[in-house]
Amino acid sequence: MTSEQNLLEIRDLRVSFRVDRHTTFDAVKGITFDIPTHRTVALVGESGSGKSVSAMSILGLLPENAAIPAESRILYGGTDLLRAPRERMLDIRGKDISVIFQEPMTSLNPVFPVGEQIGEVLRLHMGMSPKAAAARAVELLSEVGIPEPQLRVRSFPHELSGGQQQRVMIAMAIACEPKLLIADEPTTALDVTIQKQILDLMARLQERHHMSVLFITHDLGVVGEIADHVVVMQNGVIREQGPVRDIFERPQHAYTKALLECRPRLDRRPMRLPVIEDFMGEGGGRANFAERPRGVTRDDAVVLEVKGLGKTFFLKEGLFGKRAVPAVKDVSFRLARGKTLGLVGESGSGKTTVGLTLMRLHDATSGEVLFEGRNLLSLSDREMMAYRRRIQIIFQNPYASLNPRFTVGNILTEPMKIHGIGRDAKERVEMAFHLLSRVGLPEASFYKYPHEFSGGQRQRIAIARCLTMKPDVLICDESVSALDVSVQAQVLNLLQDLQDEYRLSYIFISHDLAVVKYISDEIMVMNQGEIVEIANADEIYLNPRQEYTRSLLASIPRGWDASRAA
């Protein structure tokens, strides 16, 4: 590849952050790669790999405490962006190089109509009159596929859905016909169906505007669909880079192989998911990768039965008015002992509400939850205490679900004290130690605070907390969604081991259809508070009976598809 073809060349980029007076943290340790013109380069890596830092240094948007040594270069059309004067950077940012962030809601200013925000970019960089800018904003909105753009220019960000907000962000980014579009995890916060639409839109716009795209993501499935060239990063170093076909068909580096294998696949269901150590370690214990049989039969003992569960929220409207918003409508299902029920649906489908209502963290509006023949919803708070520990929940965000002021020891012994498990403090501490080693954490963790752990470790602590109460039913509310692919595999393996050992029943709530397919025996698809379809996992993926299920399944990123190579 000669340098004329390259839009941007990154040479030996190093970024370090000053943590305090004595310590610095090297986020990026000398990376070199090119972004060719009219091509999509995907920067893939897990959290902490330095992918976002690399992208932000292109734009000079690093925080104050970042330092870049003199030998690093980012060459753009003969200019070194790291040393360009401020005025030149202001000119380049937004005009030649623009960026889309992960969270559209926080990237848009909530107090201005979207049309005005698009117009601002045009006025600043293209010198358009306010009137011309407003007209162009409407064109851009229709180009990114927002219905009724004439009306929508006057909408405020909160009046748009997440997908539409991301479309507005894209409209702003392409407003000045940039040569390079940096997309920092643009679809991570979106539902699969919306993700597919946005990816299609970006591919179409790249074609039409002859842009280059730097696509930052942790999801190799997405990469396989859109990228031409892939750069795999880990711990601030490039592990492997090459054309997308090579990466997917002949991965060289063990880390790339691991990333490709860790993610649950739709066509296979091994006994255990492979984890990074299987590839990176010497020899590796690639144990039991035989297929695991799944599914429930009529003979399985039912541990929990839900009949006609409903939950309605009331929103205030006007001074005295109330509006009923049904979040869950007439949901009925049975959960078999030792089996997993997967609960899938897009955001707003009511799947989390079902979980919280079962736990009585929300009061149900109607219905029954039968556990050992008793209706949990009609019990008094005192009677409920005995059942509380039998049904437990693991939340999505491991950073938020542990009290930052408690040590891990406090976190684990508290539920035991509440429910009188263990004879005295000493026995409880011993049990906590045992559980820590059971979930794969060192005993020294007992004395540490949650912030000293990574996301995956925190989720293990949350799992250990539930296990202290020896529950029968565990509700996993998006419990692995916030984790990196490799960590996700470890936690899924842990959950599976625990199910095999203690015969736990799981209600596994997720928007990630591949994960749900891997872990579930039975799957329940929800949409707008209602059950669309409920069937054994394999069956639902093979012959979906409902149109909605089909469209959901069609949106799953398929990863690399050899036919695309042509």
Using CA atoms, how far residue 126 sits from 32, 82, 177, in Å, is 32, 24, 10
User: Does 410 sit near another protein (CB under 8 A)?
Assistant: yes
State in angstroms the smallest separation of the CB of 432 from another protein.
8
Q: Does 49 bind another protein (CB under 8 A)?
A: no
Q: What tokens appear for 142 in the block?
A: 């229709």
CB 412 within 8 Å of CB 464: yes
Pick between residue 140 and residue 364 the one whose CB is nearest to another protein.
364
Q: Is residue 37 near another protein by the rule CB under 8 A? A: no
- Regarding 467 and contact with another protein (CB under 8 A), the answer is no
How far apart CA 367 and CA 144 sit, in angstroms, is 43
Whether residue 254 contacts residue 279, with contact meaning beta carbons closer than 8 Å, is answered with yes
Distances (CA, A) of 181 to 54, 200, 206: 14, 15, 9
Candidates 126, 176, 469, 553: give the one binding another protein (CB under 8 A). Answer: 469
CB 453 within 8 A of CB 433: no
Query: Nearer Cβ to another protein, position 151 or 400?
Result: 400
Nearest distance in Å: CB 418, another protein: 5
Of 171, 343, 377, 393, the residue at the interface with another protein (CB under 8 A) is 393
Least separation in angstroms between residue 324's CB and another protein is 19
d(CA 393, CA 415): 13
Tokens found for residue 483: 């984790």
CA–CA separation, 157 and 153 (whole Å): 10
Question: Strands 366-371, 302-317: parallel, antiparallel or unpaired by DSSP?
Answer: antiparallel
User: Which of residues 68 and 475 has its CB atom nearest to another protein in the complex?
Assistant: 475
Euclidean distance between CA atoms 489 and 480, whole angstroms: 9
What is the closest distance, in whole angstroms, from the C-beta atom of residue 465 to another protein in the complex? 7
By CB under 8 A, residue 536 contacts another protein: no
**Residue 499 binds another protein (CB under 8 A):** no
If one counts every other C-beta atom within 10 angstroms of the C-beta of residue 176, the result is 17
Selection from 335, 411, 422 nearest residue 376 by Cα: 335
418 binds another protein (CB under 8 A): yes
**DSSP 3-state helix, strand, coil percentages of the chain (rounded to 5)?**
40, 25, 35
Based on the shown chain and the rule CB under 8 A, indicate whether residue 175 belongs to the binding site for another protein: no
Q: Is the dihedral of CA 370, 372, 378, 383 positive or negative?
A: negative
By CB under 8 A, residue 539 contacts another protein: no
If one asks whether residue 359 binds another protein (CB under 8 A), the answer comes out as yes
Binding segment (CB under 8 A) for another protein, from list 94-102, 157-165, 194-202, 388-396: 388-396
Q: Does 439 help bind another protein (rule: CB under 8 A)? A: no
**Contact string 16-35 vs another protein (x = CB under 8 A):** ---x----------------
Tell me how far apart the alpha carbons of residues 358 and 364 are, in angstroms, rounded to a whole number.
8
Quick one: which of 196, 389, 460, 511 contacts another protein (CB under 8 A)? 389
Here the tokens at position 484 are 């990196």
Is residue 392 near another protein by the rule CB under 8 A? yes
131 interacts with another protein by CB under 8 A: no
- The smaller minimum CB distance to another protein, of residues 483 and 540, is found at 483
Which member of 286, 417, 550, 564 binds another protein (CB under 8 A)? 417
Q: Which is nearer to another protein, 71 or 427 (CB)?
A: 427
**Buried residues in 307-325 as b, exposed as e (16+ CB within 10 A):** eebbbeeeeeeeeeeeeee
| Amino acid letter, 268 | R
Q: Choose the stretch contacting another protein; rule: CB under 8 A; options: 28-36, 239-247, 282-290, 446-454.
A: 446-454
| Span of 322-330, 421-429, 534-542, 554-562 interacting with another protein by CB under 8 A | 421-429
User: Of 338-357, which residues contact another protein (CB under 8 A)?
Assistant: 356
DSSP per-residue string spanning 450-514: GGGS-HHHHHHHHHHHHHTT--SEEEEESTTTTS-HHHHHHHHHHHHHHHHHH--EEEEEES-HH
Q: Please identify which residue in 447, 500, 503, 558 interacts with another protein, judged by CB under 8 A.
A: 447
> Is 442 one of the binding residues for another protein (CB under 8 A)?
no
Query: How far is Cα 434 from Cα 299, in angstroms, rounded to an integer?
Result: 34
Q: Which tokens belong to 59?
A: 């734009």
In the complex with another protein, the residue whose CB is nearer, 261 or 472, is: 472
Ordered DSSP codes for 98-114: EEE-S-HHHHS-TTS-H
Q: Report if residue 151 touches another protein, rule: CB under 8 A.
A: no
Q: What is the Cα–Cα distance from 366 to 150, expressed in whole angstroms?
A: 43
Q: What is the largest CA-CA distance in the chain?
A: 77
Kindly identify the residues of this chain, within the stretch 270-299, that bind another protein according to CB under 8 A: none
Piece of 25-33, 195-203, 277-285, 447-455 that binds another protein (CB under 8 A): 447-455
* Separation CA 349–CA 335 (nearest Å): 20
Query: What's the min distance (Å) between Cβ of 305 and another protein?
Result: 21
Which range touches another protein (CB under 8 A), out of 173-181, 205-213, 386-394, 537-545?
386-394
- Choose the binding region for another protein from 109-117, 250-258, 294-302, 445-453 (rule: CB under 8 A): 445-453
User: Residue 508, interface with another protein (CB under 8 A)?
Assistant: no
From candidates 419, 454, 470, 499, binder to another protein by CB under 8 A: 419
Question: What single letter denotes the amino acid at residue 165?
Answer: Q
Query: Using the rule CB under 8 A, which residue among 174, 216, 377, 402 binds another protein?
Result: 402
Nearer to another protein, 165 or 392 (CB): 392
Give 78's contacts (C-beta < 8 A, 6+ positions apart): none
Of 20 and 547, CB closest to another protein: 20
CA-based nearest residue to 362, from 398, 327, 404: 327
Q: Name the residues that contact another protein, by CB under 8 A.
A: 19, 356, 359, 361, 385, 388-389, 392-393, 395-397, 400-407, 409-410, 413-415, 417-419, 425-426, 429, 444, 446-447, 449, 451, 462, 465, 469
